[in-house]
Amino acid sequence: MKVYFELNGEQKYVEIKPGERLLDLLRRLGMKSVKEGCRTGECGSCTVLLDGRPVRSCLTFAAKAKGHRITTLEGLGSPEDLHPLQEAFLETGAIQCGFCTPGMILVAYHLLSHNPDPTPEEVREAISGNLCRCTGYAKIVDAVLLAAERKRKGDWR
């Protein structure tokens, strides 16, 4: 079957299998920021935004993308033009192995899109579904708060 959807602002019309997961489709389309961790919806490393809301791509059928807007980390920034959240993660040391980082940044992006001035507790709650085995989370919280501060000052897109 073929489905239309928007991926990071680009229209796509692609062949999918009826039982295929969104995670596998996105990686097949070159979105390698979408990581396969647990494949049971627990770890959060496959998180993407569907119409702006975070979902687990490992537990989402690819067919559900039809007519919707999918955003992966590739849609926020690039190595040449980092998103302010990516810059904040780098500056605060919130990245170690990096496997959880795309999912963390996408849930943080969703949080800041409707709460520009979160408390540390609200940041912790927002990232609570995303596991990181390296950082201990403190620097990730710092990074999101730093990005929020910059967003409030207008350094954001």
How far is residue 63's CA from residue 77's CA, in Å, rounded to a whole number?
26
Shortest approach of another protein to residue 56 CB, angstroms?
A: 5
- Is 66 or 152 the residue whose CB approaches another protein more closely? 66
How far is residue 38's CA from residue 35's CA, in Å, rounded to a whole number?
9
- Is 84 or 103 the residue whose CB approaches another protein more closely? 103
- Please work out, in degrees rounded to the nearest 5, the angle formed at the alpha carbon of residue 22 by the alpha carbons of 76 and 70: 30
Shortest approach of another protein to residue 20 CB, angstroms?
A: 9
Shortest approach of another protein to residue 132 CB, angstroms?
A: 14
The two structure tokens encoding residue 50: 């569907």
- Is 14 or 50 the residue whose CB approaches another protein more closely? 50
Shortest approach of another protein to residue 64 CB, angstroms?
A: 7
The residue type of 79 is: P
Binding site for another protein (CB under 8 A): 1, 17-19, 21, 40-41, 44, 47, 50, 53-56, 58-61, 63-64, 66, 107, 110, 126, 128-129
Shortest approach of another protein to residue 94 CB, angstroms?
A: 19
Tell me the residue length of the chain. Answer: 157
Residue 50: CB partners within 8 Å, gap ≥ 6? 60, 64, 65, 68, 69, 70
- Is 29 or 59 the residue whose CB approaches another protein more closely? 59
How far is residue 60's CA from residue 120's CA, in Å, rounded to a whole number?
30
- Is 126 or 145 the residue whose CB approaches another protein more closely? 126
